[in-house]
Amino acid sequence: MSRLRAYIALGSNLGRRAANIRAAVRQLSREFELEATASLYETAPAYVDDQPPFLNTVAAVRASCSPRELLATLKRIEVEVGRLPSARWGPRAIDLDLVLYGDLQHSDASSGDAAPSLPLELPHPRMGERRFVLEPLAEIDPAARHPRSGATAAAMLAALPPEDAAPLQRVCPLGSDDDEGLVRWGRRTLLMGVLNVTPDSFSDGGRFDSAAAATAHALELEAAGADIIDVGAVSTRPGAVAVSPEEELRRAAPVVQALHASPLRAPISVDTSCAAVAAELAALGARVVNDVSGGAMDREMLPTVARLGLPAVLMHMRGDPATMASLARYDDVVADVRSELAGRLAAAQAAGVPKWDLIGDPGIGFAKTAPQSLALLRSLHRFGLSSASAAAAASDALDYPLLVGVSRKSFLGAAVGVELPPQERAWATAAACAASVPHADILRVHDVSQMRHVAAVADAIHRGGGAPPASTDNR
């Protein structure tokens, strides 16, 4: 049998939902060639209302076995991940449905054979009524076609009744694969607080290079409203000199270890372009990888992120901090940066990172002049999430959550027309942050208390609601 593309719908509403789906996708990648994953969605239960909400996604795999053999493998994976016998459409740790398998069609009811122990219907008989299947399916391939009706996934999604018209809630297990770590994109703008533990950062080098000082500042950032703490041990300012992985770990490891042992609740992000450093810091408690090179400076970074099972911010940059200023030459800065960033995000998926773990960053100020950075800020709608996956094919958006880092950067002084030291760029930072909402899902900032107010007002204008108090989450 030739190798065909199969679309598998995954769902979980018992136990550690995100962990269950992650485990099932990993098993699929061991059994078949995993080609794509959709975003992760939180959905209301269907058919039986009295049960917890689900997490859902769709994965595309390439297989050469028979449809019934493929279905048998899916049922085995369900058991291995932890599914127990349950009522039809009832709560379950994991559910794997074979939605499409090439253009194959099969119905046990019309085959005339004796009832098999493993019933098989292809395509899935209820796919056309399930938004929790169609939306992630259309996200992966809006042209995926129903072999009987000929309707595409995008067309079936658009044909759902009005009561099913609202897009589903996209989520990311940002802090952990437990439900308390689940971020619901679009509800409000999150703040990533900057914690530099370097001696030479452009803004605050040397201020927090001890574990005690860094921990105290991280707790202050969290109290002020930071949702994520981003620990950086290597300066990435223009012209910065690289340091060895050993030196980076010497600076960062005691800080990450101290933060993990502290009362800090916000997830710890590590700002590194070295795979070995990311792995070591993840073992000490880091929950997010923030790579300014988009995984380009270390070819092991993307496979390492996939193996760690952590969300990753991939930023656009050309060259490295020492050379990037000389590489700010573009035919069309918005189109070129968008294309190059899309390539890094696609490379991450090809390395095994599921789409729901990926966050894009256009890299404001990195291999960009001040006018180029401003042009990117004017076009953030081309980099973030599509408003609905049904329109993703026609949308110009990259369709990934978006992080924007403008805090205290030199282009702000150029825009103001006054040479400002980094610590005096808070007002200009505020203007750039406000202009980034609602397209930015995360703002990376130094002045968390002030930018929290900026984000709250911008959210109230653009999203219909401001940020909750700093002590609450975004659920």
Catalytic residue status for 409: yes
188, 409, 425, 452: the active-site residue: 409
444, 452, 463, 475: the active-site residue: 444
Separation in Å, CA 116 to CA 107, 232, 425: 11, 58, 70
Residue 335 backbone dihedrals phi, psi, to 5 degrees? -65, -40
Which parts of 75-166 are beta strand (E)?
Answer: 95-101, 106-107, 121-122
Question: How far is Cα 93 from Cα 17, in angstroms, rounded to an integer?
Answer: 7
- H helices within 82-166, ranges in order? 108-111, 131-140, 153-158
HSE-CB at 428 with a 13 A cutoff on CA atoms is 21
What sign does the dihedral 145-395-406-222 (CA atoms) show?
Answer: negative
Catalytic residue status for 75: no
Question: How far is Cα 412 from Cα 247, in angstroms, rounded to an integer?
Answer: 31
Place of tokens 């923030």: 290
Q: What angle (nearest 5°) sits at the alpha carbon of residue 41, between those of residues 38 and 44? A: 145
Place of tokens 């180029």: 372
For residue 175, give the nearest of 223, 219, 229 by alpha carbon: 229
| β-strand pairing of 169-173 with 121-122 | unpaired
What sign does the dihedral 88-91-94-100 (CA atoms) show?
Answer: positive
Separation in Å, CA 135 to CA 123, 128, 171, 354: 16, 11, 14, 16
Other Cβ atoms within 10 Å of 383 Cβ, number: 27
HSE-CB at 393 with a 13 A cutoff on CA atoms is 17
Which parts of 161-299 are beta strand (E)?
Answer: 169-173, 182-184, 190-196, 228-232, 268-271, 288-291
**Beta sheet of 268-271, edge-to-edge order:** 358-361, 312-315, 288-291, 268-271, 228-232, 190-196, 442-445, 403-404
Active site residues: 409, 444
